[in-house]
Amino acid sequence: MERFKIITFGCQMNEDDSNSIKSFLENLGMIEETDNKKADIIIINTCTVRQHAEDKALSLLGTLKKWKTKDKKIFFIGCAAERLQKDLKNKFKYVDYVIGARSYDKIYEILSREIKNTVVANIKTQGKKVDYETIIRGCNLKCSYCIVPSVRGEEKPKPFKEIIESVKNKALSGVKEIILLGQTVNSYRDFQEKKDFTDLLKEISRIEGIKIIRFLSPHPLFFNSKFFEEYKKNPKISRWIHLPLQSGSDKILKKMNRGYDFKKFKEITQELKKADPKTSITTDIIVGYTDETEKDFEDTINAVKEIRFSMAYCFKYSPRFKNKDPLTVTETELERRHSILLKEVKKIAKETMNEKIGSIEQVLLYDSRKGKTNTGYNCCIIDNNEEKKDFLKIKITEIKNNTLYGRAYD
Ligand code: SF4
């Protein structure tokens, strides 16, 4: 057993889990493979947030029936695996292992058993500049449209010291930007060590080599003055904050059980901008949630106009289960609201991007000419950048194809 392939659906947390499994297998001497035919193990890391994501994983699983032999192994893991468990084993008898998101740690034990005869090879150093670090699994909240708490369970924060150790190792392998992950990442607490999310940001920013700390996704409920103070004085904290709004209507926010109203959300964005006016705020919005009237929808449009998000990911509401929070608008109306919202979001995103012309941006370079600004924009460097630098200050001169272009400033 030598070769493995991992197929990942869903969010960055799944990406991070797949990356950990990949490193684990590589450290055991396995080789990553892109061609199913050549793989000995296929791991499907699944998502269940939307029916569509679950269907895609199941359809992929169906196509593996022909591929499967006694010596080849299929692992179906993650959130959809958690939800479907036995049903899945009954329907797809040829699947070797179904490991849900709550029993995620089991996968390492089973993989070690399966590939025990593989010779340990050289440990690969990844050489990447950006990497993820999952700091909490699960979620303690109960947003009405979300399936995460039922598949991933209650919040399980990773111990503070373990996170620091892991980030130090990543920094040693060349990582410059670390992205902390959690369903409500800023609710992080290590009760034993008496450390919270801001303490974690402070400690990570002391690690040599780490230049940017980003986090996904914070929840409006867990911002506090301690965080804002640190944000203001710590330039290593990314100036790109992805803060999910979901709806601009207080009635809908209440129905969604989000725990805040638009006023509270707006105050957070004002605090962020006050601490650093360059802050770029992106968001998620669900349109057409149960009982959303035209007035509620207008509240969302007005919220978008007021906050002026740099970008918003707009989703059409799709009930995850029949009878629970049904769709109360027609498909045509849902489509109409979605396209109006998209149009407004794109218009504002373009305007906020244009405002960047003339500004000085800190850019993490992926190669000598391309990178990302600390505020989350793709950026190209016009001058020849012969020096092998990781970071450059760039003066933005123009915008093309949703990318900032500029010249080295210092
Ligand atoms: S906070 Fe996020 S993960 Fe938790 S229930 Fe709400 S939407 Fe789901």
Using CA positions, which residue lies closest to atom 6 of ligand 1? 143
Least Cα distance to 54 among 104, 9, 85, 95 occurs for: 9
Amino acid at 138: G
Using CA positions, which residue lies closest to atom 8 of ligand 1? 146
pLDDT on residue 127: 62
Ligand 1: atom nearest CA of 257 is 6
CA distance 144 to 97: 31
Classify residue 399 as exposed, middle or buried by CB count within 10 Å of its CB (0-12, 13-18, 19+).
middle
Q: Enter the tokens of residue 232.
A: 């203001």
Amino acid at 336: R
Helix (H, G, I), strand (E, B) or coil at 121: coil
**Ligand 1 centroid vs 47 CA: distance in angstroms?**
14
Q: Could you tell me if residue 78 is left (phi over 0), alpha (psi between -120 and 50 degrees) or otherwise beta?
A: left
Show the CA angle centred on residue 143, arms to residues 320 and 57, nearest 5°. 35
**Ligand 1 centroid vs 147 CA: distance in angstroms?**
8
Q: Are 253 and 261 in contact (CB under 8 A)?
A: yes
Q: Enter the tokens of residue 288.
A: 């057409």
**Ligand 1 centroid vs 87 CA: distance in angstroms?**
25
**Ligand 1 centroid vs 50 CA: distance in angstroms?**
13
Q: Are 171 and 346 in contact (CB under 8 A)?
A: no
Least Cα distance to 45 among 70, 72, 82 occurs for: 82
Q: How many other CB atoms sit within 10 Å of the CB of residue 282?
A: 19
Q: Where are the beta strands (DSSP E) in 71-222?
A: 73-78, 97-100, 130-134, 136-137, 156-157, 177-181, 189-190, 195-196, 212-216
* Per-residue pLDDT tens digits of the chain, which is 410 residues long: 689 999 999 888 888 889 888 878 887 778 899 998 899 999 999 998 778 888 999 999 999 999 999 889 999 999 999 888 878 888 899 999 999 888 877 888 788 777 764 444 333 444 688 888 999 999 999 999 888 888 888 999 999 999 999 999 999 999 999 999 999 999 999 999 999 999 999 999 999 999 999 999 899 999 999 999 999 999 999 999 999 999 999 999 999 999 999 999 999 999 999 999 999 999 999 999 999 999 999 999 999 999 999 999 999 998 876 567 889 999 999 999 999 999 999 999 999 999 999 999 999 988 778 889 999 999 998 886 666 778 889 999 999 988 999 998 87
**Ligand 1 centroid vs 93 CA: distance in angstroms?**
32
Q: Enter the tokens of residue 349.
A: 């995103």
What lines the ligand 1 site, CB under 6 Å?
139, 141-143, 146, 148-149, 183-184, 219
Classify residue 177 as exposed, middle or buried by CB count within 10 Å of its CB (0-12, 13-18, 19+).
buried
Q: Enter the tokens of residue 43.
A: 């791991």
Instruction: Using most ligand atoms within 8 A of CB, pick from 79, 143, 145 the residue to mutate for ligand 1.
Output: 143
Amino acid at 92: F
CATH number of the domain at 3-114, out of 3.40.50.12160, 3.40.50.620, 3.40.50.300, 3.40.50.720? 3.40.50.12160
| Domain boundaries of the chain, sorted by first residue | 3-114, 130-354, 360-408
CATH code at 130-354:
3.80.30.20
Find the helix or strand (DSSP H, E) in which 361 lies.
strand 360-365
pLDDT on residue 63: 93
pLDDT on residue 125: 42
